[in-house]
């Protein structure tokens, strides 16, 4: 494809050679690769370098840091050499923690995670949030961006309200999307299609299994599926 789609591909696998193969199969389609906690704890910095060595796409290091400010500063500095485009922190960690991450990684888009898309309204209430998922996500996004976060992760159902709250300069990344022809919502509760999420104001959509499950049929099948979904968005 001549233009990469605003897709963040979730590289969720415990096999590094498979991860590299996924990248090679989709490198001209996908804009960002998401490397999560399991990936990082399994392969470490060398695993990240193995991915960056096979793509010119940006890296979304999804570690969801959540600790005291001093510890988050050290953690952010520890991954600075990997030069991730995005690094996630839990917005519920508070202003000082978010600011610590942003100060430690000025070239990275520190990304505030609001309310996990796997949580239902009942889950949000059970955890102890005073407001519903929408209002809680807006509150957390506003707090995070005021503290220096340059990107936000939120459910597609919260995009419009968060965009109105944080403005156009903030990057919004949304998981919880499923292609219109997908029959499963997996572990996501608050979902919509990728095209709907982009139309509402998301900059990127996170997609994993709807693409990577096609790997079982070979790299060409996975690539073809990635192109299908990209064409639904572009």
More confident call, 37 vs 183: 37
Residue 186, pLDDT score: 55
End-to-end CA distance of the chain: 11
64 is catalytic: yes
**pTM tops 0.85, yes or no:** yes
Structural domains of the chain, with CATH:
5-233 (3.20.20.70)
| Per-residue pLDDT tens digits for 123-146 | 999 999 999 999 999 999 999 999
Q: Please determine, for residue 184, whether its predicted confidence score (pLDDT) is greater than 80.
A: no
| Per-residue pLDDT tens digits for 32-43 | 999 999 999 999
Catalytic residue among 4, 64, 85, 122: 64
DSSP conformation letters of 41-102: HHHHHHHHHHHHTT-SSEEEEEEEE-S-HHHHHHHHHHTGGG--SEEEEEGGG-HHHHHHHH
Scanning the structure block, which residue is given the tokens 């597609």? 156
């Amino acid at each position: 494809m001549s233009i990469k789609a605003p897709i963040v591909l979730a590289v969720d696998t415990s096999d590094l050679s498979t991860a590299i193969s996924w990248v090679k199969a989709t490198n001209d389609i996908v804009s960002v690769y998401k490397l999560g906690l399991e990936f990082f704890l399994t392969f470490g910095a060398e695993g990240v370098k193995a991915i960056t060595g096979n793509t010119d796409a940006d890296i979304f290091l999804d570690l969801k840091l959540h600790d005291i400010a001093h510890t988050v500063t050290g953690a952010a500095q520890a991954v600075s050499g990997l030069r991730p485009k995005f690094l996630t922190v839990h917005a519920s960690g508070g202003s000082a923690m978010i600011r610590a991450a942003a100060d430690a990684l000025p070239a990275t888009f520190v990304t505030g995670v609001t309310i996990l898309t796997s949580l239902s309204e009942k889950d949000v209430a059970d955890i102890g949030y005073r407001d519903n998922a929408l209002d809680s996500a807006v509150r957390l996004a506003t707090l995070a961006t005021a503290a220096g976060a340059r990107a936000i992760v939120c459910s597609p159902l919260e995009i419009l309200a968060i965009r109105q709250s944080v403005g156009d300069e903030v990057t919004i990344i949304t998981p919880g999307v499923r292609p219109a022809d997908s029959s499963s919502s997996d572990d996501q509760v608050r979902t919509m299609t990728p095209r709907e999420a982009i139309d509402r104001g998301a900059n990127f959509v996170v997609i994993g299994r709807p693409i990577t499950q096609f790997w079982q049929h070979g790299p060409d099948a996975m690539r073809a599926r990635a192109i299908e979904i990209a064409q639904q968005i572009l």
